[in-house]
Structure 1
Amino acid sequence: MSIQSAPWDHDATLYTLENAHGMRVLITDIGASLVSWFAPDRDGNVADIVLGHKDAAGYLSGAGFFGSIAGRWANRIKGARCHIDGQQHTFTANEGANLLHGGDAGFHTQRWQGRILGNKLQLTLTSPDGAAGFPGTLQVWIDYELSDDGTLILTYAARTDAATPVNLTNHVYFNLAGESADIRDQQLQVNASNYLAIDQESIPVGVAAVEGTPFDLRRPASLGEVLAQTHPQLAIARGLDHCYVPDGEPGKLREVATLFDPASGRELITATTERGIQIYTGNFLEGTVGRRTYHAHDGVCLETQAFPDQVNMPSAEEVILRPGQTYQQITTYRAAVRE
């Protein structure tokens, strides 16, 4: 694999990772964002399989969170507050009374420091004590590596000097058909028997079984057919915007989801060490300007992460990083072609 860097607009840097077969992944230091992923179909035709902005200015704006690292807390925190060791911490709300993806000035708009380490691109960020209300100075690292079998490996790490919630993910939107179509004809399989039901503010209210519901994706299902079904949970989010609880043991790398486009033959297999995977079908993309003006359901996010609002659940201690500890996460996306 080779890695090249080039200046981009607004003093940003654009890195290109290329494997032995000519597959290319483009990443910028703004938000440590995955900008483009050029992958072939079954006939060898190459297309960009992720949504994104046409220039660095788009990533600085934070619109759409396209391909960006969400943090310090990915997803939502109810009431934009939590308690750590008996002390309440209040964060900067940016979705009604709640916090979403670390706030408007979250990791997705920050300039990360990039360096090439052999076959890896490493991006680092220092989040100061008090940023968006979060306690402690947090050091974050993310490594991107593209293997010759088409696997993009994301390795996350973080350390802190004070107890703080940490939950990181990449908010990349996939569309295996490229820019020419929406995701309705693509098929999704999620290896999960349960998901988290949500309230009207998209805050989890409990674990629910997928059995007998539109959320049962244990066998591949057309996203268009799923979105067309009637269900109170689908109505709240205008589609899927729910955290699934993948089967298997958290902490171990396991396959959790497969996205497939029958027309092109492109397939994307997601594996992670994380406890949850948020499936978001781009329900609120309508009118968002990126490389073109996007519409609802033009992309699907497969966000590996802790549970939304887990800082306010009985399992909160699992997502509190303390001095001397290291936050670690590995997620892989493997792009292949199915004949």
Structure 2
Amino acid sequence: MKTSWKTRISGVLAVCALALAAGCPPAQPPIPPGGGANSTETTVEDGGDPAQPPADVDNADIDDLSPPQGASDESSASKPTEPSEPAPPAETTDPPATTDAPPASETSTNENEAAMSVVKSEFGETPAGEKVDRYTCTNKNGAVLKMITYGAAVQSLEVPDKNGANANVQLAFDTLEGYLNHTAHFGCTVGRFGNRIAKGSFTLDGQTFDKLPINNGENHLHGGPEGFDHKVWQAEPVETDSAVGVKFTYTSQDGEAGYPGTLNCTVVYTLTNDNELAIDYKATTDKPTVLNLTNHCYWNLGGAGAGQILAHELTLNCDQYLEPGPGLIPTGKLLPVKGTEMDFTAAKPIGQDIEKAKENPDAKGYDHCYVVNGAAGELRLAARVKDPASGRVMEIHTTQPGIQFYTGNFLDGSETNGSHKQHDAFCLETQHYPDAPNQPDFPSTVLRPGEEFHEVTVHKFSVE
């Protein structure tokens, strides 16, 4: 029996709304000497109900996975379900003896459940002396999400395969040094503007802003070489009876990277007991500006380091894509995918038509922005990926208008790319369209004082 689209997503919306509307519990105080070096552990009390298994998903097509026609606005990101009050962190009088999560048998009535927890530890220090922390979140199923404050980045996500064996499915660096020197944006929050802005210039309300750093040919990419992925974000844990995660905040000052306005950003990452990774973005500004926040996870459902992803089977809920021009700047035309190498409306291996996609010398594979079917602002299916070997399945639902499909074309085996090679991973970046500030027919990326940028993306993991 299938779980309805509304039921499957409403819980994650409640978590996102709870983190931002109700506030997050404060971080726990540091452990005294003798209680575990440089870490703080907070364990969420067991709510009594075992985690539900992933909903059954048919193996074929978009119609089976999309929300029904006329789905209620209650399941839209713009009108999240009213959350309940968060469960407070468990209080302890004595420091734990170890930073590891306690055995499930000691904290749960179900021997198959892990102990839900958020553990904070030191990850390193930047050359400027800024301390970087790592947060390790574990849900009741034993799935593990690790995030760092440098770049508000997902460092790893461990989920089970069809045999129940956990593996990390996201490319990452083991040390802070890798993130300091990276060129691939592994797992990072990207901004101010994800994707490209032509020639690092745009005009807003009659004023031209042409000082954006050029870092991709003659264009500006992912906020430049000192974008949000190279900033240390503030962080605090998010804990409810159904999810654990981290709330990241960062203030981008007026003029940073050539953008106008002081921008206050909040990104909440939560790992639910349904093995969903939810990302909730919010931002406000004191001057008109442009904004396009996304996450740059590199996925390999066979496990990071498992080799190429060309056998992964991809389905995109997208009938159109943006025609790329020189430097992958959109021409402004929306082209139909039907009958072309760009068509993933029915599941097919990523590698099936990739050689045809490589005929674009700027792309070297898939590096295209697709138009997600349905109304932007409503949480709807964007993509589904299956690794036949491991049985892992990832579905992506989003409120964003577009999704950038990238097949790791420029992973070259170098240390700055984590020694990963071409097509060792893929990205599905939910976002607004590239170069939107210069393309008036595209959905607007302008944010004005008194408005709030708010987008939600949910990654649902299961097995077949």
Provide the TM-score with structure 1 as the length reference: 0.96
Q: Is 1:96 equivalent to 2:217 in the alignment? A: yes
Which of the numbers 111, 122, 145 marks the counterpart of 2:270? 145
Q: Which residue of 2 aligns with 1:226?
A: 353
Which of the numbers 246, 257, 263 marks the counterpart of 2:372? 246
**C-alpha displacement of 1:231:** 6.6
Q: Which residue of 2 aligns with 1:40?
A: 160
Q: Is 1:109 equivalent to 2:230 in the alignment? A: yes
**C-alpha displacement of 1:216:** 0.4
Aligned residues of 2:182 and 2:417 also touching (Cα < 8 A):
no
Q: Which has the larger radius of gyration?
A: 2
Aligned residues of 2:432 and 2:443 also touching (Cα < 8 A):
no
Structure 2 SS opposite 1:257: strand
Query: Whole-Å Cα distance in 1 between the matches of residues 310 and 335 of structure 2?
Result: 25
Q: Greater CA deviation, 130-139 or 313-322?
A: 313-322
Distance 1:62 1:34, change over 3 A: same
**C-alpha displacement of 1:232:** 4.0
Unaligned runs of 5+ in 2: 1-115, 126-130
Distance 1:230 1:81, change over 3 A: closer
Which of the numbers 185, 194, 200 marks the counterpart of 1:65? 185
Query: Whole-Å Cα distance in 2 between the matches of residues 260 and 123 of structure 1?
Result: 30
Partner amino acid for 2:299?
Answer: F
**C-alpha displacement of 1:337:** 0.8
Distance 1:208 1:152, change over 3 A: same
Partner amino acid for 1:138?
Answer: L
Partner amino acid for 1:174?
Answer: W
Query: Whole-Å Cα distance in 1 between the matches of residues 179 and 295 of structure 2?
Result: 14
Q: Is 1:52 equivalent to 2:178 in the alignment? A: no
Q: Is 1:128 equivalent to 2:248 in the alignment? A: no
**C-alpha displacement of 1:230:** 5.8
Alignment of 1:286-301 (within 5 A): 286-289=412-415, 292-301=418-427
Structure 2 SS opposite 1:213: coil
Query: Whole-Å Cα distance in 1 between the matches of residues 417 and 205 of structure 2?
Result: 45
Q: Which residue of 2 aligns with 1:7?
A: 122
Provide the TM-score with structure 2 as the length reference: 0.71
Unaligned runs of 5+ in 1: none
1:51-71 alpha-carbon deviations (Å, 9 max, x no partner): 011111211223210000110
Partner amino acid for 2:230?
Answer: T
Partner amino acid for 2:236?
Answer: R
Q: Taking every aligned residue pair, what percent have the same amino acid on both sides? A: 37
Aligned residues of 2:358 and 2:366 also touching (Cα < 8 A):
no
Aligned residues of 1:239 and 1:281 also touching (Cα < 8 A):
yes
Which ranges of 4 or more aligned residues in structure 1 deviate by more than 6 Å? none
Structure 2 SS opposite 1:58: helix
Distance 1:325 1:36, change over 3 A: same
Partner amino acid for 1:149?
Answer: D
Partner amino acid for 1:104?
Answer: P
Which of the numbers 254, 259, 278 marks the counterpart of 2:385? 259
Q: Is 1:83 equivalent to 2:203 in the alignment? A: yes
Aligned residues of 1:62 and 1:108 also touching (Cα < 8 A):
no
Q: Is 1:209 equivalent to 2:336 in the alignment? A: yes
Q: Which residue of 1 aligns with 2:36?
A: none
Which of the numbers 319, 341, 349 marks the counterpart of 1:193? 319
Query: Whole-Å Cα distance in 1 between the matches of residues 206 and 117 of structure 2?
Result: 49
Query: Whole-Å Cα distance in 1 between the matches of residues 140 and 384 of structure 2?
Result: 24
Q: Is 1:159 equivalent to 2:284 in the alignment? A: yes
Distance 1:290 1:54, change over 3 A: farther
Partner amino acid for 2:269?
Answer: Y
**C-alpha displacement of 1:8:** 1.1
Query: Whole-Å Cα distance in 2 between the matches of residues 236 and 57 of structure 1?
Result: 29
Aligned residues of 2:178 and 2:418 also touching (Cα < 8 A):
no
Query: Whole-Å Cα distance in 2 between the matches of residues 311 and 8 of structure 1?
Result: 37
Structure 2 SS opposite 1:229: helix
Query: Whole-Å Cα distance in 2 between the matches of residues 274 and 120 of structure 1?
Result: 22
Partner amino acid for 1:106?
Answer: G
Distance 1:138 1:22, change over 3 A: same
Aligned residues of 1:189 and 1:219 also touching (Cα < 8 A):
yes
Q: Greater CA deviation, 59-68 or 316-325?
A: 316-325
Aligned residues: 337
Distance 1:125 1:331, change over 3 A: same
